[in-house]
Chain A
């Protein structure tokens, strides 16, 4: 059994964790953003994708790779929904 961990995936995860900390630190402020839960959920799912892409180098390569790409897709859907709620609906302020 060979382990294959790529540098770029570690970098993505590290940056993602940094962003996570940043988000958690400003959670109360971000709540004032319209439909903030959807956007933050999109990031969490994306972060899950980055996590599993690192983990797939260690075990369950195929399944985790599926999950990684599925996470990207779900995250993008969340982002699209957020864009629809914020820009597609008539709103005066955020």
Chain B
């Protein structure tokens, strides 16, 4: 029908009008569709007045497009006036639409801002209240209500000091503020009472509220719950107190210095050393207390730690106490780093070494004296044992000579002495008394010679050089047993030598040690049972322990400590020897960083354990 209307007209205008009519229909339909969406979703968006204005715009657009359609479809000017009016209304209505939108937007923004402000007010992380000029609460936020446990009705209109623990003090403070006696902006700590009776430490900060004339109209205050902070402060104070007590009661000197070597912390020991108090040291340096050279030395040490960031450990440093006594300290200085890792000072701990130093000096002096005395003794021993042998040889020689001479005199007198009595007396003297006396003299001289030989050997051992080298102990024991093969057979003993590890020592002297021990083991076997000698070793802590174990007569406990003494013998009447074997063992081991230990049970046997460094 529409197309028929268009095609009724003649000429070029037909197609031209067709497209214009189509555009107008599209305009109409699009506006109609927009209107349908708007009406269907009326509740979804925008304010009602904005939607009404926009509805008007759509209707005007539809009407305008309808007017245009009528004009171009029928070619009539019937609606010309209406088209002019509506055509003018469309842009105007666009202005209304934009205005309405802006109004809606502004209103929306205001609402949002108000909402945000209210949310900020109520959900701020700190409590907030406002007071009038009487100190009564006029406004309070949700955070403060939650913090104190009251409802808004319970707080509003109440004097603020009613909620504090110290009401009178708080009242005076609020009144002074309102009177302008206390400047605003200061923070106060107070204890406030919650509704459930608990007390809460809070921090209050306030500002004045002013009226239009600039007069004080009230106070606005923020309050913060500082329970955690208070606990942390108490904990910190406790820790500080603990630390202070600890460092003040430490006998060692403990101090902290800044990068300029000024004392920041010092304990009582440091203060006592420097003749002042811990507080008197703060901010001062060693130059204020010590001679310049000594202070410079301390300063250099501290600065080295600051510069390098590396600790100085157990540095022995001299010091002088207030009485001028020289002292020694072992000082450790470590860098103190800040949170950024940069060195901000040093921590020092020093220990008084004076007593130890004095003891060490005394010991060194005694050791020197002892070494000197030892040398003297060894010299005396050598000289004595060596020089005494010469007259002893004379005694022995001339004793023998005297014995022979007596025999000759006795033979000669037999012929000249006729009387039986005289002959008997002389006979007794020459046959019994004189040989007996000479026998004692010669036996004693022989014994003395033996003792002097032993002493000479002992003194030579002290002077002999020690050449430390790895020793094949298996080979050494093989040689020792081979050398004593006759004695072993004579004693009828069985010898069991296990594999032995090598050790360090002087070959001849260590050989002497084990020869003496092995010889003793053979010598003191029990004749009532077959002899058995076992040699074995074990290694522990870098040392070898060689054990020579026998099933001999054993050693009584009271003798076990004495057997290493010079000239001590277990059975002097039955067994030969000088009583020097074990003394020599101990002497040699003393020069080899070695030790000897005896374990024994009388009637069962003995075990000698010799400890020597492993090879």
Contact = CB atoms under 8 A, between A and B. Distances in A.
Interface of A: 8-9, 11-12, 15-16, 18-19, 22-23, 26, 29-30, 32-34, 43, 46, 50, 62, 65-66, 69-70, 72-73, 75-77, 79-80, 82-84, 86-88, 90-91, 93-94
Given A19-B91, A83-B33, A34 B45 contact: yes
B7 interface: no
22 contacts: A9-B87, A11-B87, A16-B91, A18-B91, A19-B91, A19-B94, A22-B99, A29-B106, A32-B109, A43-B94, A46-B94, A50-B91, A69-B24, A72-B61, A73-B24, A77-B30, A79-B34, A80-B30, A83-B58, A87-B40, A87-B44, A94-B108
B68 A69 contact: yes
A29 B94 contact: no
A86 to B, nearest CB: 5
Nearest to B20: A69
Contacts of B94: 16, 19, 43, 46
B26 A83 contact: no
A8 B23 contact: no
Contact of B46 (A15, A19, A46, A94): A94
Contact of A29 (B30, B40, B105): B105
A87 B42 contact: yes
Contact of B65 (A12, A32, A72): A72
B16 A62 contact: yes
Interface residues of B, number: 46
A29 to B, nearest CB: 5
Contacts of B143: none
Contacts of B91: 12, 15-16, 18-19, 46, 50
Contacts, number: 129
Interface of B: 16, 19-20, 23-24, 26-31, 33-35, 37-38, 40-42, 44-46, 57-58, 61, 64-65, 68, 83-84, 87-88, 90-92, 94-95, 98-99, 101-102, 104-106, 108-109
B226 to A, nearest CB: 40
B35 to A, nearest CB: 8
Nearest 4 Cβ contacts at the A-B interface:
A87-B41, A76-B30, A15-B91, A69-B23
B88 A73 contact: no
Tell me what chain A mostly uses at the interface: helix, strand, loop, or mixed: helix
Contacts of A91: 44-45
A79 B58 contact: yes
Contacts of B88: 8, 11-12, 15
A18 to B, nearest CB: 7
B30 A73 contact: yes
Contact of A30 (B27, B28, B83, B105): B105
Contacts of B83: 8
A77 B28 CA distance: 10
Contacts of A29: 102, 105-106
B105 A70 contact: no
A76 B37 contact: no
Contact of B45 (A22, A50, A73, A87): A87
A77 B33 CA distance: 9
Contact of A73 (B27, B37, B90): B27
Given A15-B88, A19-B94, A83-B38, 4 more contacts: A8-B83, A9-B87, A34-B45, A69-B23
Candidate in A70, A80, A90 with the most chain B CB atoms within 10 angstroms:
A80
A93 B105 CA distance: 11
Contacts of B42: 87
A87 B58 CA distance: 14
Contacts of A23: 98
B87 A8 contact: yes
A31 to B, nearest CB: 9
Contacts of A32: 105, 108-109
Contact of A12 (B68, B90, B108): B90
B150 to A, nearest CB: 35
Contact of A76 (B31, B101, B102): B31
A72 B20 CA distance: 11
Contacts of A33: 101, 105
Nearest to B88: A11
A30 B19 contact: no
A86 B33 contact: no
Nearest to B91: A15
Nearest to A69: B23
Contact of A86 (B26, B45, B102, B108): B45
A87 to B, nearest CB: 3
Contact of B19 (A8, A66, A72): A66
A71 B98 CA distance: 20
B546 to A, nearest CB: 98
Contact of A8 (B20, B34, B65, B84): B84
Nearest to A15: B91
Contacts of B101: 30, 33
A83 to B, nearest CB: 4
A10 to B, nearest CB: 10
B38 A87 contact: yes
